[in-house]
Amino acid sequence: MPKAKYVLALDQGTTGTHVSILDSKLQVVGRSYKEFTQHFPKPSWVEHDLDEIWATSEWCIARALKDAGLNGRDISAVGITNQRETTGLWMRGTGKPLAKAIVWQDRRTSEMCRRLKEQGVEPRVREVTGLVVDPYFSGTKLTWFFEHLKGARARAEKGDVCFGTIDTWLVYKLTGGSAHVTDVSNASRTLLMDLTTLQWSDDMRSLLNVPAGCLPQIRGSAEVYGTTRGMRSLPDGVPVAGMAGDQQAALFGQACFEPGESKCTYGTGAFLLMNTGSTPVRSNAGLLTTVAWRLGGTGTTTYALEGSSFIAGAAVQWMRDGLKVIKKAPDIEALAASVMDSGDVVFVPALAGMGAPHWRPEARGLFAGMDRSTTVAHLARAVLEGIALQIHDLADAMRRDSGRDIPVFKADGGAAANNLLMQYQADILGVPVVRPRNLETTSLGAAFLGGLGAGVWDSTDAIRRAWKADKTFKPKMKADARERHLAKWKRAVERA
């Protein structure tokens, strides 16, 4: 009888690490989760400790194996998905980080981005990378490191320093320092990769003054990058065979394999992606053109249009940790449902600036429309509505850019469990919102990419069979009411 095959998905998010173990039928047999420390050294600065991320990852791998009743020898492949754009530097030989990683939410390079825009470089940046000049992306964070870490540039020019987003860091650690790689989906978020050639751009390196010697090799999203070495819970020799940025992995995990198929992930931020096929679609509405995945080292590349709202679930965390009006994040649904509506309160979730289609890094969070009758329940409902209203703006821009309607809207991520949020999202979009049974589609995508890369599966048919809907939220709001909500939202955004 052949030995059962299991794939381990390492999902390293912004606030914590998930590990899931899936069998060959894509059923989750073990899982674990652990949060790690968020560092806020200055206003608008956000940092993570790379060593803590790795320690958390090792802990979660061991715990997930225990939960599944398996040991490391049962794992056939490892797939990785990660918070994108978060930027780290470490010594190539020792793996010692040079500093804490700069998180994608961090806005310290806003002034640098403003100067670059004044130089008139943004059209060229968009042409080469599909991105806009914004602190969100890795490139200016990397420039900041080289301008502020003494000796870092000289060591990088000698090839002694590794730059990486979190996927690169995890592969480096999983393989005992033998692999310094990234995949096309993560590389496409750095401001440094040419969207057409899928190689590092000399123009962009020159613009941002980045030494070539620190850059990882760009690989496909489902191939063997190396094998595990020197780990506590996994034996040497397990293939690390798949990786994609979290949003691309979720698009894959939602089985959005055909052009036009779309999903939105409600995590720390909210991210709407549409599969645009083998040709990149350039945006006229402030969206990003990005790589979705490339299967195998030389396979066909799939592109996507993306709109990002920097703050989604993070707004609920802020209500919990900052304002302390709820004890647990899920409590916001009952609090918000205790009132019939938001009482004309509008919340703009610009706690880390505004992403697409507005791209206003200077914007700040705003409650508008409060009066003496406003309660914390109205604020809670307005926070959930503000998350959905951001997504409306993204979906509207995506329709214009792609020339396609979005007939069905697939939703995933932790906040997609919130029924009130999902119903309001359907109402404000005017289209059905479908929630899958497995909300952890990011991990599902990572596992499937890893299994494809290691030969556990030989096609995408298995993931189509595994995807099943949990609930469909049909729009109930009348058109005139929808327009009133959108008009209030537009006025609030202008003031943020």
d(CA 92, CA 159): 8
SS3 label, residue 303: strand
SS3 label, residue 2: coil
Query: Which tokens hold the place of 399?
Result: 């329709």
d(CA 358, CA 489): 13
On whether the CB atoms of residues 301 and 337 are closer than 8 A, the answer is no
Instruction: Label residues 413-427 b or e (16+ Cβ within 10 Å = b).
Output: bbbbbbebbbbbbbb
Residue 268 in marked binding region: yes
Beta-sheet pairing, 469-473 with 433-436 = antiparallel
Residue 159 in marked binding region: no
Q: How many CA atoms lie within 13 A of 474 on its CB side?
A: 0
On whether the CB atoms of residues 349 and 309 are closer than 8 A, the answer is yes
Residue 136 in marked binding region: yes
Residue 160 in marked binding region: no
On whether the CB atoms of residues 56 and 173 are closer than 8 A, the answer is no
d(CA 311, CA 267): 8
Residue 322 in marked binding region: no
Residue 247 in marked binding region: yes
Residue 27 in marked binding region: no
Give all strands (DSSP E) within 13-108, no chain letters: 16-23, 28-35, 47-48, 75-82, 88-91, 101-102
- How many C-beta neighbours within 10 Å does residue 230 have? 12
Residues with Cβ within 8 Å of 198's Cβ and at least 6 positions away in sequence, in order, are 184, 187, 218, 291, 294, 301
Residue 85 in marked binding region: yes
Residue 246 in marked binding region: yes
Which of 227, 241, 300 has its CA nearest to residue 457? 241
Which of 68, 85, 73 has its CA nearest to residue 14? 85
Residue 414 in marked binding region: yes
Kind and range of the H or E element at 10? strand 6-12
Query: Which tokens hold the place of 100?
Result: 């804490």
Whose tokens are 């690390």? That residue is: 240
Which of 362, 370, 323, 319 has its CA nearest to residue 343? 370
Cα 13–Cα 143–Cα 95 angle in degrees, nearest 5? 55
Residue 84 in marked binding region: yes
- Going by the annotation, the residues of the binding site are 14-15, 84-85, 136, 246-247, 268, 313, 317, 414, 418
- Going by the annotation, the residues of the binding site for glycerol are 84-85, 136, 246-247
- Going by the annotation, the residues of the binding site for ATP are 14-15, 268, 313, 317, 414
- Going by the annotation, the residues of the binding site for sn-glycerol 3-phosphate are 14, 84-85, 136, 246
- Going by the annotation, the residues of the binding site for ADP are 14, 268, 313, 414, 418
